[in-house]
Structure 1
Amino acid sequence: MAESSSVQSLDRAFDLLELLCKSRNGMSIGALSAETGLHKSTVHRLLSSMCMRGYVQRDAATSIYRAGMRLCELGSFVMENMDVVERARWPMDHLSRETEETVHLVMREENDIVYIHKVESDHGAIRMFSRIGMRRPLYCTGVGKAILATWPDKEVHALWQESDIKPWTAHTIVSEDAFFHELERVRRLGYALDDEENELGVRCIAAAIPDYRGRASYAVSVSAPISRMSDERIGLLRGPLLQACDEIAAALGGSMSRG
C-alpha cells in the first residue's frame, strides 16, 4: 500500500513538473490544482519538496512557481553522457557508401572543431589528411561554419574577436563582414562549404547536427578532391548529407527542421 502511494505521489510530482516546464510565465498553486485536479494542499506539499531539491523555484513576491535550473543542469549531464559517435556511426557509414566519399564527424571545443570520427572512402587513391583528435579553427572549416550558423550573431562576433584569424590557405575567409555574409548563405541553404579554405585541393560540404534548441555543437561533412566536387555534385550530395544529420539529430533528441 505504501509503495502504491509513493508511486502515485511520484506521478503527481512529474505531472506538476511537466506543466511548469511548458509554462512560459510560471503557475500558481491554484492554477496547478485546477489543471491537475489535485487538492491545493497536495500541490503545495509536492512543490515544496521539489523546491528543496532545486527542481522548482518559487517567486516570493508573487507565489508563482517555475521550473528550476536543476533540470537544466541534469539535462546537460544527459547530453554530455550520450555516445554521439555510436549514434552517428550507422548514418555516417551509410552516407560514405552512398556518396563514395570520406565522411567526418566533429565536435566544437572552445574556438575549434575536433575530429571525433571518420569514415574513409575506398574510392580513389587520395586520402584526407584529417585524423581523429585533430583540431582546426571553427572559422576556416565547413563544419565550423555549419555549427556557427546555428548561433546568434552576437556570439559569433565574440568568437571571431577571440580567434586568431589567419589564412590557412589563399581561400580562407579572413574578413568578418565576408564571414557573416557566408553564414547567411549557410542559414539559407542549410549547409556550409569549405572551398579549399582549410586544405588545398579539398572541397567539403557540411551540415550541423542541431540539439533540441536548434543550436549545434556537432557537424558532419563529406570531403573529396576538388576534381570530384563540382557545384553540380555538391547539389547532389546535399540531400544525403542532410538526411544523415537528421538521423543523428533524431537519435540524440535534437531538431530536424531542414527540408
Structure 2
Amino acid sequence: MRTPEADPPRGGVAQDHPDFVHSLAKGLEILSAFSGGALLGNQQLVKLTGLPKATVSRLTTTLVTLGYLQPDAQTRKLRMGTRVLGMGVTVQREIGLQRVARPFMEALSKSLDLTVSFGTRDRLGLVFLEVARPPTKTRLVTNTDVGSILPLASTSIGLAYIVAAPVKERSQILHSLSRRHKDEWPPMRLHIEKAHQEYERQGFVITQRSWGRDVNGVGVPMRLPQRHALYAFHCAGPASHMPVQRMRREIGPRLLEMIGDIRTAMGEPPLTVLVEPQIHQP
C-alpha cells in the first residue's frame, strides 16, 4: 500500500499547506498505480493506494470520463488512457536521453547477455525510462518495461541513485524509508551504507538476489548538471549468470564505460564519483 505522507517531496509545498489540493493528489495517486501497462480494478486500486473504496470509485469514474483511464472490454478493469500516454511521449521527447542511450544500452545488453535499464526516482521507487533486453534465453524475465517502478533501497539501480543523491534529497529519502519500513530499517540502513562504501571504492554498487527473486544487479548513477537531473543505470540478470566476480571484474567496469560513452555523446564532462561524504541519519 502506498503511504504518500511518507514520501519525500520533490519541491512544491508540504501536504498540510493550504495550497495543496488533496483531491488532485488522490487522483494522481490512482494514475501512479498503473505501472508497466497494468490492468487494475477498483478493489486492487483500494489496496494499492490505501484510499477508501468510495473515493476510488469517484476518481476512476472521473478519470475515465476525461480519458486518463480506459476500461478494458473483456476484463472490465482499467488501463492508462490515451491522454496519459500522450503526456508520457511528450516527456520522453523532452528528456532526449533515451534516444542517445538506447544504442549503447542495446550493444551492452547483447554483449553481456543481460538486461540493461535506466531510470530516475519516483518518491521511494525508481521508474524505468528505457530498457534493453538481450535476445537470448538467459534474458531476465521480469515486469521491467518502461514505466515499471522498482524499490529504491533493495535494488542496484535504486541504491545507485541513493548514494549519488544530493545530501538534502538523500536525507529526505532516508527519513521516509525509516518511517515506512520501521522494524526493517536498521538492516536496510546498513545495506545502504555498504552500497555507499562500495560505490566510493569502485564506482558502482551490486546487489544479490534482489526484488525477492534470484536476480543480481549492478548499478551506476549518472548526473546531468545542465538538466539538474540524476539518473541511474543498471545491468540485471539471473544470479547464475551474474556471479559476484563477474559483476566486479566485467559487468561493473563495462557499465561505467557505457555511461562514459553516453556522456561523451551528449557533450557532458567525464564521469566522476558523485557520492557525498557520508550517509546522514534520518
Q: What's the TM-score once normalised by structure 2's chain length? A: 0.55
Q: Is the 8 A contact 1:115 1:135 kept in 2?
A: yes
Identify which of 163, 173, 188 aligns with 1:175: 188
Distance in 2 between the 1:225 and 1:231 partners? 12
Which residue does 2:80 correspond to in 1?
none
Q: Is the 8 A contact 1:210 1:249 kept in 2?
A: no
Identify which of 123, 138, 141 aligns with 1:128: 141
Q: Does 1:195 align with 2:208?
A: yes
Look up the SS of the partner of 2:137 in the other structure: coil
Q: Is the 8 A contact 1:211 1:255 kept in 2?
A: no
Structure of higher CA gyration radius: 1
Distance in 2 between the 1:181 and 1:136 partners? 20
Which residue does 1:148 correspond to in 2?
162
Identify which of 145, 153, 156 aligns with 1:139: 153
Equivalent positions of 1:216-227 (< 5 A) are 217-227=230-240
Q: Does 1:84 align with 2:97?
A: yes
The Cα shift of 1:154 comes to: 4.8
Identify which of 224, 233, 241 aligns with 2:246: 233
Q: Is the 8 A contact 1:202 1:224 kept in 2?
A: yes
Distance in 1 between the 2:257 and 2:172 partners? 31
Equivalent positions of 1:151-170 (< 5 A) are 151-163=165-177, 165-166=180-181
The Cα shift of 1:257 comes to: 3.1
User: Unaligned stretches of 5+ in structure 1?
Assistant: 1-78
User: Unaligned stretches of 5+ in structure 2?
Assistant: 1-91, 274-282
Q: Relative to structure 1, is the Cα distance of residues 257 and 116 closer, same or farther in structure 2, using a 3 angstrom cutoff?
A: closer
Distance in 1 between the 2:209 and 2:114 partners? 16
Distance in 2 between the 1:186 and 1:214 partners? 23
Look up the SS of the partner of 2:117 in the other structure: strand
Distance in 2 between the 1:253 and 1:161 partners? 35
Q: Relative to structure 1, is the Cα distance of residues 204 and 215 closer, same or farther in structure 2, using a 3 angstrom cutoff?
A: farther
Which residue does 1:246 correspond to in 2?
260
The Cα shift of 1:137 comes to: 2.3
Identity among equivalent pairs (%): 19
Alpha-carbon RMSD: 3.0
Moved more, 223-232 or 209-218: 209-218
Which residue does 1:30 correspond to in 2?
none
Cα deviations across residues 142-164 of structure 1 (Å, max 9, x unaligned)?
11111222124453232111136
The Cα shift of 1:118 comes to: 1.2
Distance in 2 between the 1:200 and 1:247 partners? 31
Moved more, 209-218 or 80-89: 209-218
Moved more, 194-203 or 207-216: 207-216
Cα deviations across residues 20-65 of structure 1 (Å, max 9, x unaligned)?
xxxxxxxxxxxxxxxxxxxxxxxxxxxxxxxxxxxxxxxxxxxxxx
Which residue does 1:114 correspond to in 2?
127
Instruction: Identify the structure with bigger relative contact order (alpha carbons < 8 Å, sequence gap 6+).
Output: 2
Q: Relative to structure 1, is the Cα distance of residues 232 and 125 closer, same or farther in structure 2, using a 3 angstrom cutoff?
A: closer
The Cα shift of 1:253 comes to: 4.2
Q: Is the 8 A contact 1:212 1:253 kept in 2?
A: no
Q: Does 1:212 align with 2:225?
A: yes
